[in-house]
A and B are shown apart, each in its own frame.
Chain A
Amino acid sequence: MNKALRRKIIITAAAWAVALLIFFPIFWMFLTGFKTEVEAIAIPPSLFFTPTLENYVAVRERADYFKFFWNSIYVSVGSTVLALVIAVPCSYAMAFFVGKRTKDTLVWMLSTKALPAVGVLVPIYLIFRDVGLLDVTFGLMIVYTLVNLPIVVWMLFSFFKEVPREVLEAGRMDGAQPKDELYHLLLPLSLPGIASTSLLAIILSWNEAFWSLNHPGLRLDEPAPAGAWPHLRRREVARRNTVATIKLTNIRKSFGDVDIIKGVSLGIDDREFVVFVGPSGCGKSTLLRLIAGLEEISDGDLFIDGVRSNDVPPAKRGLAMVFQSYALYPHMSVADNMAFSLRLAHVSKEEREKKVQEAARVLQLEPLLHRKPKELSGGQRQRVAIGRAIVRNPKVFLFDEPLSNLDASLRVQMRIELTRLHDELQATMIYVTHDQVEAMTMADKIVVLQTGLIEQVGSPLELYHHPNNLFVAGFIGSPKMNFLRGTVTAPKDGTVSVRLAGGDSMDVPVEPGRVKEGANVTLGVRPEHFRVSDRGLIRGEVLVVERLGGETFLHVKATTGELLTVQAEGDSPVRMHDNVGLQANPTDCHLFDQSGLAIPRTTRHPLAGEVRRGSHSAS
């Protein structure tokens, strides 16, 4: 924090010094405006003097000053309006209806901006003399219009060209004629550009002096195909033999006085694949960026390999990050994009080429090495972004929603490829997503975040079978867990009897602990743990049946009014508006107390402690 402040103060001093230096002549003019004629030419120039308004009084008394002032406004505004009226249709025609030679025409027109004042002074002078515009302010307005026209046309042309093609094409599909296209799409979309063009034109004519001077009568008016990584041969990827662990202790981050990360403590083991999940805005990206060093940590300690690294600059932390938008450098080829960090690290050219070739082979990017990012598909860009991380051979890979820009099928492929890459590279990876399927399938360890705090950390199956609270229970698993209201009737050792709102009771195998008889509790049942049967715990009407082939989802309105989701077999005969009973195995049910905390289950699920990495045959 202190460092950032010091930097800001230094920049403030430098920028202000420069600004004041540039502004000084204007300030000095302003000052001189309050000096008497004698003081104005005093040697040395005086900084301290008695200010006088005599110069302003003198200007005021000159009737012609105001005439000139109004002439300037009249001519500059009038000529700008005229120029716009002519330039809009003209630029439109040039932008969309003129052939390939447009560019040449434009440049030629632009060069006429340089020539009129000097090169065509004479003819204009003579023409104006003959039509009687010489001594008229209107004549000057026409000259200014013509002088500014090429630049106005050219600027409008560029702004029109920047309007996305898709928008105009959509307009055409909707039946827009050229006129509608111009008035309803181009003009509104390029409004800021038109505004700045007008401003420039006004200033240019306001500043223009050449024409009025030579105008007798007026004076100085002034991202991967699947199967990319299966080809990856283990020997060819430089294996890391170093350890990479990360430890966060009570990390906090606030932006201004808003606390975003409110005390996060977390340990990440070597070669672990950790996934941060949570709803939008919970601080996942922020936490990742704190680890990367892109944001300054407000409070708490970050240890990388046991070394406190709060103040280590991002490039020195031994991390590589893959950004959501890929953040490729648009002006560099694929090869240069991947080699950039090596180049900055002064790695020799041969070494760079070797590493880029290796990464390109791994990612099947070889045929694309000479392309620019804009010539790649989404999936290919994604691979370049990953390639850029791979060449650095980092201790830890950081991914911020790297798959969110890809289509569904590509996302599934890339998910598999990333998991394989993790296995092959044997690197620690931290991965941010809000897609809980990605979290469940890829993670060794999931960190569930909510509003800047960790709700629970554990293996995917631990979170699934032993959620700590209602939030995690609802967040992990798809479709969402069903929640039913109930009251505790008999807390015994090893089971708790719960009476549901519908009247039926169930004995749930949880530690009674703090729950007392009569306490309000929530019973949680996952859709896949409900069975449709005649004599059910709960009864209700089927509102909607969703048949996915392999399975069927039933949306049931219970007699107590609760809406429940049930997963049934694919060939379940249930139909809409049937009355069904629902049954669940008590050992599959979860119980939460009044404050939303889970009441621990008596038996742990056998797979909850499973670490995928444990089954990996590390060589």
Chain B
Amino acid sequence: MPLKLPAVLLLLLWSIVPLAMTLWFSFQRYNLLNPTEHGWVGFENYHFLVTDPGLAKSIGNTLLIVGWVLVITVSLGTLLAVLFDQDFFGRGVARVLMIAPFFVMPTVSALIWKNMLMHPANGVISFLLMSVGLEPIDWFSQAPLASIIVIVAWQWLPFAALILLTAIQALDPERKEAARMDGAGPFSMFFFIIIPHLARAISVVVMIETLFLLAVFAEIFVTTAGGPGLASTNLAFLIYRYALLEYDIGAASAGGVVAIILANVVAAFLVRAIAKNIEA
């Protein structure tokens, strides 16, 4: 079929060309501010990167964001899916409300949380803390990474709940009835029937979310700009800093290569842990 070959080629090109270029630039001295000073520098950019305390910190932050958001969205998402699968009054509307955050742009949701909810003076959370007699917290300076995790988890929770809800609805009702006849109460039903049934859907959620969470950017950019210090800088933000704040294409590319390696390590891990679920 004539369309097939070009499509596959395009896809490969897309994967390989930028990758090759990134690799190439990572061995170059290349600063946009000083374009004439240009040439092969061997591992100098990598040396710079490895000695930059920001790298280890930002890799750590990246993994923390991915890990925590996954734990929160998958566990709460499963519970939400079971809850919203029940028959109750106004189910349709309640489901829409629950899913709504997914449709809010990350920049916008970051602004809502930053200026209206987590603001130390006029935020709703401060107000609630004060009305029970506690000190308000300046979230973005005292717990910057946790704050970002909360915002990102809030955005991705509906996605996880929605996919898992769809999967629960696909569960053969006779199987649930058979389990009821076998004496399964709500808990046994949840752990022995629903969770195993959801294994595949959970894998899909973990897979898709991971890919996006590895590259969280807008939330950090809008709220903490990676600070204070490097407290909330992840790999994406670090590279952004090199490339567009310091115009150092060489260092940014070396950071890009590290990001690619990290993504592939995480992906390889996911494949071993999860891919067999998805293929089954």
Q: Which residues of chain B are within 8 angstroms of A340 by Cβ–Cβ distance?
A: 179, 182, 192
Tell me whether A58 is interfacial, beta carbon within 8 Å. Answer: no
A7-40 interface bits toward B, Cβ cutoff 8 Å, 1 = contact, 0 = none: 0110110111011101101101100100000001
Tell me whether B183 is interfacial, beta carbon within 8 Å. Answer: yes
Alpha-carbon separation in the docked complex, A517 to B199 (Å)? 74
Beta-carbon contact of A314 and B180 below 8 Å: yes
Question: Would you list which residues of chain B between 1 and 47 have a CB under 8 Å from chain A?
Answer: 1, 3-4, 7-8, 10-11, 14-15, 17-19, 21-22, 25
A205-248 interface bits toward B, Cβ cutoff 8 Å, 1 = contact, 0 = none: 01101100110000010100000000000000000000000000
Question: Would you list which residues of chain B between 143 and 177 have a CB under 8 Å from chain A?
Answer: 154, 157-158, 172, 174-175, 177
CB distance from B122 to the nearest CB of A (A): 5
Tell me whether B140 is interfacial, beta carbon within 8 Å. Answer: no
Tell me whether B225 is interfacial, beta carbon within 8 Å. Answer: no
Q: Which residues of chain A are within 8 angstroms of B218 by Cβ–Cβ distance?
A: 209-210, 213
B214-243 interface bits toward A, Cβ cutoff 8 Å, 1 = contact, 0 = none: 110110010000000000000110011001
Q: Which of B84, B94, B263, B275 interacts with A111 by CB under 8 Å?
A: B263
Q: Which of A19, A110, A124, A179 interacts with B1 by CB under 8 Å?
A: A179
Q: Which of A29, A117, A153, A388 interacts with B215 by CB under 8 Å?
A: A117
Beta-carbon contact of B18 and A118 below 8 Å: no
CB distance from A382 to the nearest CB of B (A): 14
Question: Would you list which residues of chain A between 301 and 327 have a CB under 8 Å from chain B?
Answer: 313-316, 319-321, 323-325, 327
Beta-carbon contact of A325 and B172 below 8 Å: yes
Alpha-carbon separation in the docked complex, A43 to B109 (Å)? 21
Tell me whether B61 is interfacial, beta carbon within 8 Å. Answer: no
Alpha-carbon separation in the docked complex, A158 to B130 (Å)? 51
CB distance from B255 to the nearest CB of A (A): 8
Q: Which residues of chain B are within 8 angstroms of A146 by Cβ–Cβ distance?
A: 14
Alpha-carbon separation in the docked complex, A104 to B275 (Å)? 10
Beta-carbon contact of A45 and B122 below 8 Å: yes
Most-contacted residue by chain B among A42, A316, A324, A329 (CB, 10 A) = A329
Q: A90-B4, A108-B15, A210-B218 are in contact. Are A123 and B264 (CB under 8 A)?
A: no
Beta-carbon contact of A93 and B94 below 8 Å: no
Q: Which of B4, B123, B199, B253 interacts with A89 by CB under 8 Å?
A: B4
A186-220 interface bits toward B, Cβ cutoff 8 Å, 1 = contact, 0 = none: 00000000000000000100110110011000001
Tell me whether B71 is interfacial, beta carbon within 8 Å. Answer: no
Beta-carbon contact of A112 and B239 below 8 Å: no
Tell me whether B56 is interfacial, beta carbon within 8 Å. Answer: no
B102-143 interface bits toward A, Cβ cutoff 8 Å, 1 = contact, 0 = none: 111111110011001100011110010011000000000000
Alpha-carbon separation in the docked complex, A282 to B113 (Å)? 57
Beta-carbon contact of A22 and B158 below 8 Å: yes
Beta-carbon contact of A329 and B193 below 8 Å: yes
Q: Which of B10, B154, B260 interacts with A119 by CB under 8 Å?
A: B260
CB distance from B223 to the nearest CB of A (A): 13
Q: Which of B10, B87, B98, B214 interacts with A8 by CB under 8 Å?
A: B87
Beta-carbon contact of A22 and B101 below 8 Å: yes
Q: A15-B86, A118-B256 are in contact. Are A325 and B7 (CB under 8 A)?
A: no
Alpha-carbon separation in the docked complex, A19 to B158 (Å)? 10
CB distance from B31 to the nearest CB of A (A): 12
CB distance from A431 to the nearest CB of B (A): 16
Q: Which residues of chain A are within 8 angstroms of B154 by Cβ–Cβ distance?
A: 22, 25
Tell me whether A86 is interfacial, beta carbon within 8 Å. Answer: yes
CB distance from A319 to the nearest CB of B (A): 7
Beta-carbon contact of B86 and A11 below 8 Å: yes
Q: Which residues of chain B are within 8 angstroms of A329 by Cβ–Cβ distance?
A: 175, 178-179, 193, 196
Alpha-carbon separation in the docked complex, A2 to B270 (Å)? 48
Question: Would you list which residues of chain A between 244 and 267 have a CB under 8 Å from chain B?
Answer: none
Tell me whether B63 is interfacial, beta carbon within 8 Å. Answer: no
Beta-carbon contact of A149 and B14 below 8 Å: yes
Q: Which residues of chain A are within 8 angstroms of B72 by Cβ–Cβ distance?
A: none
Q: Which residues of chain A are within 8 angstroms of B172 by Cβ–Cβ distance?
A: 325, 327
Q: Which residues of chain B are within 8 angstroms of A314 by Cβ–Cβ distance?
A: 177, 180-181
Beta-carbon contact of B181 and A8 below 8 Å: no
Alpha-carbon separation in the docked complex, A267 to B189 (Å)? 33
Beta-carbon contact of B249 and A122 below 8 Å: yes
CB distance from A339 to the nearest CB of B (A): 10
- Contact sample, A vs B, 29 pairs, CB 8 Å cutoff: A11-B87, A15-B88, A18-B80, A23-B98, A41-B121, A42-B122, A86-B11, A108-B267, A110-B207, A113-B211, A114-B267, A115-B19, A115-B256, A118-B255, A119-B22, A119-B239, A120-B18, A120-B19, A121-B239, A210-B215, A213-B218, A294-B181, A313-B180, A315-B180, A315-B181, A320-B181, A329-B193, A331-B196, A341-B183
Q: A25-B154, A108-B267, A179-B1 are in contact. List 17 more A-B contacts (CB 8 A).
A: A15-B88, A19-B97, A22-B157, A29-B112, A32-B116, A89-B3, A92-B4, A94-B8, A114-B214, A115-B256, A117-B215, A118-B235, A158-B278, A209-B217, A213-B218, A292-B177, A319-B181
Q: Sorted from nearest, which 10 A-B pairs have the closest CB atoms? A: A315-B183, A123-B21, A341-B182, A119-B256, A120-B18, A90-B7, A327-B174, A111-B267, A12-B88, A327-B178
Interface residues of B (CB under 8 A from A): 1, 3-4, 7-8, 10-11, 14-15, 17-19, 21-22, 25, 80, 83-84, 86-91, 94-95, 97-98, 100-109, 112-113, 116-117, 121-124, 127, 130-131, 154, 157-158, 172, 174-175, 177-184, 188, 192-193, 196-197, 199, 207-208, 210-212, 214-215, 217-218, 221, 235-236, 239-240, 243-244, 249, 252-253, 255-257, 259-260, 263-264, 266-268, 270-271, 275, 278-279
